[in-house]
Structure formats: structure tokens, C-alpha cells
Amino acid sequence: MGLKKQAISGVIWTFAQQFSVQIINFGVQIILARLLMPEMFGLIAMLSVFIAIGQTLMDSGMTTSLIRTKNPDQLDYSTVFITNIIISCVVYILVFLTAPYISDFYNQEILTNILRVYALTFVIRSMVAVHVAKLTKEMNFKLQMKLQIPSTIVGAIVGVSMAHFDYGVWSLVWLNLTQTIVFTIQNWVFLKWKPSFIFNKRRFKYHFHFGYKMTLSGLLDTVYRNAYNIVIGKFFAPSIVGFYNQAETMRLFPVAQISTVMGKVTYPLFSNIKNDIQLKSVYKSTMKLVLFAVIPIMLVLIIVAKEFFLLLFGEKWLPAVPYFQILAIASIIRPISSYNLNILKVKGRSDLFLKIEIIKKILGIVAIAIALPFGIFPLVISLAVVSYFFTSVNMWYSGKLINYTIWEQLQDVARLFLIGLIVAGFSYYIYLSIYNNIESEFLIIIIISSVYGLLYFSSTFFLDKNMVQIIRNLIKK
């Protein structure tokens, strides 16, 4: 199968996997939000940074190295597998021992036992990380989907059932733990590949040399992304953390699917492209295609945010609406920020990747420190502002490697943003006109979505011929 066909097939199956899994998770999130109180989601959000750190340390960036390696063999896969197992066990022991101190930090005693159980997820994931990397290397996203959906369904059943029988926050813990266990078992049962219990120092050094820089970069990104949960959890009530986390979850729901799809597909795809001119062309088309999809989704959600939360979660979650609207502004460029760093990876510039992350995160922490004394809303606004700065940094460095300047990139996407904002202004005027005359939240969402979609796509068709050509080429292929 050629690169283009592989890319298209990868996009289709990865999107199918993400869409199927996230639709299930989205439905479960709605049910749990109605069964559980915001404080319970807040407790889990307080621990998210520690789980994410454990996951990042477990992998050590070595599976990323496997994907970029030309023709890795059984020795490569097995060495990384054993390394992941050992590191995950060591990290879990550290988390287990420090759990009481973490609960003292938040002044929430229940967090000790929650963290000790929840942290088992990254130990279990270490048993399947190489399996997933191998499937990704082979661009076998169809099989990944077949394995992911059953585990998501089983986990959802367990989580909702426990919430129904008043297990409270533990329903959220066991939902994630069950999904991880079922997914791991399926990989071991249905995948032909099995690790050999062999370890090669030379292969370890090769993958670790690339991977440790990616790990440090990942740790910086993980700590920063969860810094808001840490700060809000420390200085505000658990319910505020719950509102913020729900807003964060909802604003990431649409863009996370696109980010994950593009990240998983473009990394192995870019790795197989040797010509920088071709790489630039693919990069440019992908960036425009991503924004073409994301801009209308996020701007419509910003307009109908109140109706969106009322319809899905009920009135008790309305305080999350303004957080969501602010964060959704940052979500528009999130997929671009995520996938364009794949250029650095395929070029083997993990050193530059780490340098960029250090610069960005230092500035991000400074922004948090400046905003915190002014309250929760300035804190959330600071996240949105620095997100655009981070994306510009990523675009500059990635573009530099393929001779695609940030000015060229901005020129290529400016028309899409302009169309999106103008249509959003007109749609908001329609929203204000019908707001007091229609009582159905669902009907308001449908009307605004239809108006925006019709105007956006028709305007793009007449005003952005390059975007139309990209879509036509994609359909033909």
C-alpha cells in the first residue's frame, strides 16, 4: 500500500476508533455528571497530574523511538517492553509511598486510597504499550479500533453501575481501571506478537537516547497541562475544580479526536517521507484541513455553550459554562499545536523538542503565577492566551525545519479564521434574536449549528479555492 493510501486508511480507521470510543465516553460522562456531584470529578482532577506523570515515566519516550526506527526487530520491541515494565513498577511504588503526602497537600484524606488504586492503570498499560506502538508503526489502526471499543464499553458499564449504586468517586476510578485491564487482556489474546524476555544494552541505549528527551519534554508538558488542576485544587474548593475539569473535558472532546487522529497518522506518515518539499506540502494541506474542521465546531459551541451544558448535564453544571467558553477559544488551535511537533520528532530533533518545551513551560508557569492572585477567571484566561503563544512557537520551529515560515503558515490559514469569525458574529446575532423566543435548548443548538454550517461552508467554497482543492483531492484519493 502506498503512502497516500496508508495515510487515508489510517485517518479513516483512527478517526473511526476515536469517534466510536469517545462517543461512548461522552455518553458515559453525561450519565455520570447527572449521577455524581461536581466535587467527585474535582477529586479525580486533583490526581490527574500524578497519573499522567506515571504514564509518561512508564513509557520513557521509547515507544516513540520504536515508531521512528527503520525496521525495528524483536530485540528492539522486547528491550523496550522490559524497560517499560521495570520503570512502571518503580514509579508505582513511589506513588504508593507518597500518596499520603499528596492527600495532605490537598487536605483530602480520601485521595490516598484513590491514588493507590488509580495508579495501577499505568502499570497495566506498560504491559501493552509496545503492542500499541507496533500496531501504530504498521499503521494498523483498524485492529486498534477493534480492541479499544469492547474495553470502553465494559469500562462504561462498570462505571455507570457503580455510580448508580452510590459508590461515588470510586465509580470514576474503576471505570478507567476496568477499561485498561480489558484493553490489555485483548492485546495479549488477539495480537500475534509476543515479547521475548531478552534485553539488549545497545538497543536500550539507542532508544533511550532519543526517548529520554521526549520523556523530559512530556513531563514538562504534563505538569504544565495539569498545573491548573493542581493550583485550583490547592486554592479553591473541590467543586470549582470539578467545574473547571468538566469545562476542560468538554472543550477537549471534539479537538482531542482530531488531535489524536492527526498525531497518530502523521507521525508514521511523516517518518516515511524523505523529501522536505513533499513533507512541506503534506504539512500545509494537513494544517488547513484540521483548521477547516475545528474552527466551526468550536465557535458554534462557544455560542451555544449554555444550552449545551443545560441539555447534557443539567443546571448544577452551569457554573462551568464561562470556563468552557474561554477554554474553547484555545481549543481552536490545539490540534495544530499537537501535530506540527511531529516534524521535530521525525527529524530526530528531540533535543530541540525539549528546549522548546522548557521555554514554553517556564513562560506558562509565570503566567499562572501572575494570574492566580486575581482569581479563577484570570487564571483560565491565562491558559487560553499562552496556548496561542505556544502554538506560534511550535509553528516557527517546525516550519523552520522544512522551509515553511510562520508568516507563510499564518497567511495560508488567515482566510479560514476570518471566514469563521465573520460567520460566528452573524450566528451570534441570530442566537440573540431567538434566545428569548425558543425554550428548547436542543432546538437552539440545531438552529445555530445549521445557520453557521451553511454560511461557513458556502463562504469557504467561494472565498478559499485552495481549501476547496484540498478537499477535492482528499475525496479523489
Residue 295: which of 401, 385, 417 has the closest Cα?
417
> Does residue 296 lie within any of the structural domains?
yes
Cα–Cα distances in Å, from 445 out to 306, 312, 439?
10, 12, 11
CA 72, chain centre distance (Å): 27
Residues 6+ apart with CB under 8 A from 2: none
Q: Taking Cα atoms as reference points, which of 295, 401, 300, 294 lies closest to residue 346? A: 401
What single DSSP character describes residue 332? T
Please tell me whether residues 125 and 196 are part of one structural domain. yes
Residue 29: inside a domain: no
Helix intervals (H) in 318-464: 321-331, 334-339, 342-346, 350-371, 376-401, 406-434, 441-463
pLDDT at 306 over 90: yes
Is the pLDDT confidence value at 212 over 80? no
Q: Kindly report the number of other CB atoms within 10 A of residue 120's CB atom.
A: 19
Q: Are residues 261 and 274 in the same domain?
A: yes
Burial of 177 (0-12, 13-18, 19+ CB in 10 A): buried
Question: Residue 340 gets which letter from DSSP?
Answer: T
Tell me, what's the pLDDT at 84? 84
Instruction: Judge if 42 and 90 occupy the same domain.
Output: yes
Give the mean model confidence (pLDDT) for residues 457-472: 78
One domain, residues 303 and 363: yes
Q: What is the pLDDT of residue 59?
A: 65
* Nearest one of 120, 118, 148 to 132, comparing CA atoms: 148
**For the chain, what percent of residues have pLDDT higher than 90?**
19
136-140, 197-201, 396-400: the lowest-pLDDT one: 136-140
Query: CA of 302: how far to CAs of 99, 172, 212, 329, 330, in Å?
Result: 38, 27, 39, 8, 11
Question: pLDDT digits over 307-342, tens only?
Answer: 999 988 888 889 999 999 999 998 888 777 766 777
**Of 235, 262, 288, which marks where a domain is finished?**
235
- Band (396; pLDDT cuts 50, 70, 90): confident
Mapped onto helix, strand or coil, the DSSP state of residue 436 is coil
Q: Are residues 248 and 229 in the same domain?
A: no
Measuring CA to CA, how many Å separate 16 from each of 10, 146, 261, 263, 374?
Answer: 10, 10, 9, 15, 43
Mean pLDDT comparison of 104-118, 136-150, 210-224, highest-scoring range: 104-118
Q: What is the pLDDT of residue 14?
A: 56
Please tell me the total count of domains within the chain.
Answer: 2
Shared domain check, 143 and 251: no
Is the pLDDT at 180 greater than 70? The verdict is: yes
**Rounded to 5 degrees, what angle do the CA atoms 100, 227, 97 make?**
20
Residues 215, 69 contacting (CB under 8 angstroms): no
What's the one-letter identity of residue 189?
V
Residue 292 lies in a domain: yes
Average pLDDT estimate for 57-81? 77
pLDDT at site 42: 82
* Boundaries of domain holding 349: 237-477
DSSP string, 161-199: HHHHTT-THHHHHHHHHHHHHHHHHHHHHH-S----S--
Same domain, 390 and 432: yes
Question: 230 and 331: one domain?
Answer: no
Cα–Cα distance between 65 and 22 in angstroms, integer?
Answer: 27
Number of Cβ within a 10 Å radius of residue 56: 22
By three-state DSSP, how is residue 86 classified?
helix
Residue 105 has pLDDT above 90, yes or no: no
Residue 171: what pLDDT?
92
pTM (2 decimals)? 0.70
Tell me how far apart the alpha carbons of residues 188 and 220 are, in angstroms, rounded to a whole number.
Answer: 32
169: in domain: yes
As a whole number, mean pLDDT of residues 189-201 equals 84
- Position 28 in a domain: no
Q: What is the mean pLDDT of residues 114-124?
A: 90
pLDDT at position 4: 47
Q: Which of 215, 235, 255 is the last residue of a domain?
A: 235
My answer on whether 222 and 85 are in the same domain is yes
Give the list of residues 6+ apart from residue 93 with CB closer than 8 angstroms, or none. none
pLDDT for res 446: 93
Query: Of the candidates 254, 261, 280, 335, which has an alpha carbon nearest to the alpha carbon of residue 8?
Result: 261
**477 has pLDDT over 60:** no
The verdict on 187 and 160 lying in the same domain is yes
User: Distance between CA 231 and CA 236 in Å, rounded?
Assistant: 8
- The rounded distance, in Å, linking the Cα atoms of 87 and 82 is 9
For the chain, the residue count is 477
Q: Is the pLDDT of residue 263 over 60?
A: no
pLDDT surpassing 60 at residue 451: yes
In this structure, the answer to whether residues 242 and 229 fall within a common structural domain is no
pLDDT value of residue 181: 94
Q: Are 66 and 266 in contact (CB under 8 A)?
A: no
- pLDDT confidence of residue 1: 46
CA distance 401 to 276: 8
**82 and 4 in a common domain:** yes
The cell numbers describing 208, all together, are 533511550
pLDDT band for position 356 (50/70/90)?
confident
Residue 5 included in any domain:
yes
Q: Which pLDDT score, from 0 to 100, does residue 402 have?
A: 76
pLDDT for res 211:
67
Torsion of CA 167, 171, 177, 178, to 10 degrees: 90
Percent of the chain with pLDDT over 70: 84
Last residue of a domain, one of 183, 203, 235: 235
CA distance to 258, 288, 389, 392, per residue, from 416 (Å): 17, 8, 19, 17
Q: Which of 38-47, 51-60, 85-94 has the highest mean pLDDT?
A: 85-94
Task: Identify whether 113 is part of a domain.
Answer: yes
30 assigned to some structural domain: no
How far apart CA 278 and CA 291 sit, in angstroms, is: 20
